[in-house]
């Protein structure tokens, strides 16, 4: 009896390729950014009076919410994805080693993969089952492994899958090649773990530096600038530009300092990602944490009267 291959739907194909969740999250993030961006425009000084007013939030707050919506959702997704990839990389050498043992026991490559799909490899188990499903739907082992490598998309998996496919094409003792690939994958995973651990102190320095910058700004705006302003008002240091005469006001300086701290938080987060994994994308979650902390500190300080408000923050 001939088995008829049923054509998969578009959504099923996206799920199999690991793209469905990413598309949904990107859509949600885009909608969130768009909503807060529109609120920021409608509540801005571009309109007199503003079309929308939601105290105590200003148009700058809504702009911050737009940025946090994008970085928060995308950063959270990347964090979950990287955590999953980390667990897959940890168990992938075990999977390849078990394939080698099954081949030595006389099983074919397909049966070895089918047997492995019944085991427990943590986060890797669903991916192994997807490989089996692809094979059962008529895909070759090579195509199924290549699809798996594209879904996971790490150097370790791509390198090992390529090695396995080449060994299968070339013939010879595939079990020995699989064993060597398992050892190689284990060594690479160990090196990646050591790299992450060695970079942790640099991440701590970035966070400490960002929080210290915020603390210094609070001290300057809450203690030093008011003292200098009062001296200026008595005429002792009128040349410094505080007090009247068109000099910049303390509330305006608070806005400038907040802008500098917020931009610095976003940049520091990206740098933290480069230190952590070598990719700026993984730093978006750090940017979200630092930017959210910066906004909360300044907003709460303004609301409780610790910092003067310019009406923008």
Predicted pLDDT at 287: 96
Mean pLDDT of 221-249: 60
- Range name among 1-5, 12-16, 45-49, 166-170 with the lowest pLDDT average: 1-5
pLDDT of residue 266 exceeding 80, the answer is yes
Q: pLDDT exceeding 90 applies to what percent of the chain? A: 26
Among 3, 76, 63, CA closest to 33: 63
Question: What pTM, to 2 d.p., does this model score?
Answer: 0.79
Q: How far apart are CA 211 and CA 16, in angstroms?
A: 42
Q: What angle do CA 312, 291, 19 make, to 5 degrees?
A: 120
So where are the chain's domains? 194-229+249-303
Predicted pLDDT at 47: 85
């Amino acid at each position: 009896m001939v088995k008829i291959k049923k054509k998969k739907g578009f959504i099923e194909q996206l799920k199999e390729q690991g793209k469905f969740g990413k598309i949904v999250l990107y859509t949600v993030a885009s909608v969130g950014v768009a909503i807060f961006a529109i609120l920021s425009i409608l509540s801005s000084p571009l309109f007199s009076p503003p079309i929308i007013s939601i105290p105590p939030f200003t148009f700058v707050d809504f702009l911050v919410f737009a940025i946090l919506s994008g970085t928060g959702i995308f950063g959270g997704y990347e964090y979950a994805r990287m955590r999953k990839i980390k667990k897959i990389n940890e168990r992938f050498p075990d999977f390849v080693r078990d394939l080698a043992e099954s081949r030595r026991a006389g099983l074919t490559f397909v049966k070895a993969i089918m047997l492995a799909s019944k085991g427990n490899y943590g986060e890797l188990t669903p991916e192994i089952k997807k490989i089996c499903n692809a094979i059962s739907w008529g895909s070759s082992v090579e195509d199924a492994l290549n699809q798996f490598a594209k879904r996971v998309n790490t150097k370790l998996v791509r390198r090992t899958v390529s090695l396995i496919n080449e060994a299968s094409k070339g013939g010879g003792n595939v079990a020995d090649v699989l064993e060597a690939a398992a050892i190689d994958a284990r060594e690479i995973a160990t090196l990646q773990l050591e790299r992450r651990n060695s970079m942790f102190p640099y991440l701590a320095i970035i966070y400490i530096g960002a929080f210290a910058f915020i603390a210094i700004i609070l001290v300057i705006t809450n203690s030093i600038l008011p003292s200098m302003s009062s001296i200026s008002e008595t005429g002792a240091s009128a040349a410094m530009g505080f007090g009247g005469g068109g000099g910049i006001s303390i509330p305006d300086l608070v806005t400038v300092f907040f802008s500098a701290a917020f931009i610095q938080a976003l940049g520091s987060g990206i740098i933290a990602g480069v230190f952590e994994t070598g990719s700026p994308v993984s730093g978006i979650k750090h940017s979200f944490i630092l930017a959210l902390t910066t906004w909360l500190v300044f907003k709460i300080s303004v609301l409780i009267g610790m910092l003067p408000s310019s009406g923008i923050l």
